[in-house]
C-alpha cells in the first residue's frame, strides 16, 4: 500500500505565525491528496482535496485564504495555516487514495498555537 510521510509531527507557535505542513507520498504518484482536521474528541473532518497542478477543492466552511494548499508535484502537497490563532490548534492529517484500496494516512501534525 501507499506510504505517506507527514512533517512536522508537532508544532508549537505563537499566534500570528504561519505554519507549513508537508505531506509526501513516498511510493505512489498521487494526483490527489486529502487534508483532514480533527479537534479533540471529534472525528476527522475533510478540509480540502489537493489536486496536482491545479487549485485545491475546499469543503464548505473552510477558508481557502486561511488554509493554503499547494500540490506542485505528484509526491508532495503542502498545507499552510496562515496567521494561525489558538482556534486553529488541532490535529491535521493528510491522506492518499491509491485507487481500489483504502486511503493511507500520514502520521498527522499536532498544531498548538499559543
- For the bound state, the minimum distance from the C-beta of residue 20 to other proteins, rounded and expressed in Å, comes to 19
How is the chain split among helix, strand and coil, in percent rounded to 5? 5, 50, 45
Closest by alpha carbon to 91, among 50, 41, 51?
41
C-beta neighbour count of 85 within 10 angstroms: 12
Backbone angles phi, psi at 86, to 5 degrees: -50, -35
The Cα angle at residue 107 between residues 99 and 50, in degrees rounded to 5: 50
- Of the pair 52, 82, the CB lying nearest other proteins is at 52
- For the bound state, the minimum distance from the C-beta of residue 27 to other proteins, rounded and expressed in Å, comes to 17
- For the bound state, the minimum distance from the C-beta of residue 63 to other proteins, rounded and expressed in Å, comes to 19
Q: Which residues bind other proteins (CB under 8 A)?
A: 32, 34, 36, 42-46, 49, 91, 93, 97, 99, 102-103, 105-108, 110
- Of the pair 18, 101, the CB lying nearest other proteins is at 101
- Of the pair 82, 98, the CB lying nearest other proteins is at 98
Amino acid at each position: 500500500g501507499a506510504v505517506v510521510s507527514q512533517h512536522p509531527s508537532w508544532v508549537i507557535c505563537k499566534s500570528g505565525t504561519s505554519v507549513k505542513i508537508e505531506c509526501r507520498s513516498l511510493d505512489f504518484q498521487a494526483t490527489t491528496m486529502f487534508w483532514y482536521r480533527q479537534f479533540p474528541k471529534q472525528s476527522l473532518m475533510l478540509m480540502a482535496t489537493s489536486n496536482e497542478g491545479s487549485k485545491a477543492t475546499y469543503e464548505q466552511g473552510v477558508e481557502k485564504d486561511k488554509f493554503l494548499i499547494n500540490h506542485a508535484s505528484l509526491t508532495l502537497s503542502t498545507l499552510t495555516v496562515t496567521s494561525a490563532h489558538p482556534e486553529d490548534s488541532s490535529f491535521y492529517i493528510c491522506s492518499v487514495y491509491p485507487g481500489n484500496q483504502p486511503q493511507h494516512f500520514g502520521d498527522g501534525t499536532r498544531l498548538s498555537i499559543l
